[in-house]
Amino acid sequence: MDTKTVYSTKAEKYAKYRWDYASQAIEAIVRITGMSIKWRLADIGAGTGILTRHFIDKVAKIYAVEPNPELRQILAKGMEASPSVLVLDASAENTTLSDSCVDVITVAQAIHWFDPEPAKREMMRILKAEGWLALLRNYEMNNEKDKAIGSLMTEEYGANFTVVTERPREKPICFYFGNDNFRKLTFPFQFHQGWDEFIGALTTASFMPDEDHPLFEKLEARARQIFAKYSQDGCWLVEGETELIVGQPSQ
């Protein structure tokens, strides 16, 4: 399986429906790292730019690294008005950037698609001495709703878990830092989704079926039942949390 094409059929949906990150998490990165407008930042696995856009006007240059052509096309279009952002056809394992050229690296959910050993070597190569690494991830915090959504993420409804099992084996977070001197912080957030946003976000998951899948109608029917049960006046309250892990990595 080519992990760089996993989201090729989901790019537009990803840009439209994937959850954003808590603004307090972005503020914490700026505060903890002492981020300066003179800095250069590499957002690796930038996708459609959900995280990237938060750092526009906060640093001098952003290198948005994205190997998937469909995601990268949307990313590039969204950054056309931002000359400080350079979109790169590159990967975590080969960013094409020069040695010691960035002050901070940000990585969102994409880190579990990285090949850990070469990705870490590449990050250490491009990061300046005493540079920073910030990792972000979102979680659903309402256990009852999370369980209900999880019941849809099964082979019965078209989930294809080979997409996940065939990706590179993950390493613990401390592997990327090379030490235990990092901070883990969490920031809650809430927002409402209508039906389109609900089913759209659900099916941005790499292993979930697209509309042309033979089991999609079954998934949609069951998802409508769950949406009706937990929504009010057609609005589903998302209760989430952004986890931020930030520190200065070492070899």
Written as six digits, the tokens of 50 are 């959900």
pLDDT digits (tens, 9 = 90+) for 116-161: 999 999 999 999 999 999 999 999 999 999 999 999 999 999 999 9
pLDDT at res. 83: 96
Instruction: Look over the chain and give the mean of its residue pLDDT values, rounded to a whole number.
Output: 95
The single residue listed with the structure tokens 């994409």 is: 110
Whole-Å CA distances, 135 to 16, 21, 102: 22, 11, 16
Give bridge partners of residue 33 from the DSSP assignment: none
pLDDT at res. 212: 96
The single residue listed with the structure tokens 């994205």 is: 66
Written as six digits, the tokens of 148 are 């209900």
Domains of the chain: 3-247 (3.40.50.150)
pLDDT digits (tens, 9 = 90+) for 19-69: 999 999 999 999 999 999 999 999 999 999 999 999 999 999 999 999 999
Sign of the C-alpha dihedral, residues 238, 52, 204, 95? negative
Give bridge partners of residue 102 from the DSSP assignment: 127
Average pLDDT over residues 195-210: 96
Q: Please provide the DSSP assignment of 154-180 as one string.
A: SGGGT--THHHHTSPPP--HHHHHTSS
Q: Are 54 and 78 in contact (CB under 8 A)?
A: no
pTM recorded for the entire structure: 0.94
pLDDT at res. 200: 97
Written as six digits, the tokens of 126 are 């491009």
